[in-house]
Amino acid sequence: MISAEELRNRAQGAMSLHIAFIGVVNGLFSALHRLQTATPAELAQATDLNVGYLRRWCDAAYAFSWLEREGDGFRLSEDGDSMRPERSDSRMAAAVGAVLGAHMAERAAGLMRTGERPGEKVLAERETILPWFGSMLEHNFRRTFEEKIVPSVPIFAEMNARQGLAVDLGCGNGWYLRALLGKCTQLRGLGLDGFAENVRQATALAAAEGLGERLHFAEGDIHQFRLPEPADLIAMNRALHHVWEERGELFARLQEELQPGGAVVIWEPAWPDDNLLLREPAYRGMAFQNLTEHVQGNHFLRPDEISQALSAAGLAVSIHPVGSDVVVVGRRR
């Protein structure tokens, strides 16, 4: 049995990330980095936020070691500095994920009584979370994609040599294509997403990374999209489980939009065949997220399910395990 002390420690860990979330979404860690040291009043003046809330946030952030005291003011601790979103190694994703998880758990608790599954609109129910969703995914997955997936999955180098067009369906803030085009310098990219805010963020970030000439973004529905030209690579980055029930129609459409020899590249969490694995640290978060996916009308998939569906659509399949994830490539024959 978990001790009362351990339960208190776990609860305080969640509180700590909630305090960090407030600092992330309101730019407080970044502001204190610029100011070096500031009182709550000075921080309020610099950020145009309410001084009463800031005074209490500073006390709480100090209590959880995100801040240090310096006279009447506060400065970032080493841990607090790690929460700045602009850092390439930022840990802000943990804070955003913690608050998103609390929101989804609360929704699941209520919906469990009725069986209702309201869909992906639940992600937009908290206005402070949605603008940070893409950044959370980028900080969680971009390094894995750049360092493990692109070098080990041959299709990326092949399509780069063809100087082809890579399309990302459900592109979010565009991090997947920005990372891919950074590694594959001959590729062009097009990202489609249903949220206008994601398209705005993606366009701005691509320009900031010097990719504006090769990479474009637009609003688009994954069920009704039409590409301006046939693609060499169509990516679905952790998105297939959102449209799994329509996979037959979707895969037929994807083949129509592919060049001969082009490929669909699916990256998904790999739901294990043996549920005993869910006790392993790498899978615990997946088990929780699968509950929240049910709220959205989805569920995670086993790699063999994805492979069989692509094969049934007439695609030549290769499977590439990546830790607790999987990349499945379906080549148009």
Q: Do 323 and 192 share a structural domain?
A: yes
Q: Do 205 and 79 share a structural domain?
A: no
Let me know if residue 291 belongs to a domain.
no
The domain that holds 32 is classified in CATH as 1.10.10.10
Let me know if residue 252 belongs to a domain.
yes
| Domain boundaries, position 235 | 140-273+298-331
CA-to-CA separations, 112 to 108, 222, 231, 289, 292, in angstroms, rounded: 6, 29, 42, 15, 11
Let me know if residue 68 belongs to a domain.
yes
Q: What does the pLDDT look like over 297-307, one tens digit per residue?
A: 999 999 999 99
CA-to-CA separations, 87 to 91, 100, 165, 182, 186, in angstroms, rounded: 9, 21, 30, 18, 27
| pLDDT given at position 22 | 98
pLDDT band, residue 195 (cuts 50/70/90): confident
Q: How many independent structural domains does the chain possess?
A: 2
Let me know if residue 110 belongs to a domain.
no
Q: What does the pLDDT look like over 39-64, one tens digit per residue?
A: 999 999 999 999 999 999 999 999 99
Last residue of a domain, one of 89, 116, 148: 89
Q: Do 10 and 148 share a structural domain?
A: no
Q: Do 237 and 151 share a structural domain?
A: yes
Counting residues of the chain whose pLDDT is more than 90, the rounded percentage is 86
Scan for tokens 């249903």, then name that residue.
194
The domain that holds 163 is classified in CATH as 3.40.50.150
Q: What does the pLDDT look like over 100-126, one tens digit per residue?
A: 999 999 999 999 999 999 998 898 898
Separation between Cα atoms, residue 52 and residue 41, nearest integer Å: 9
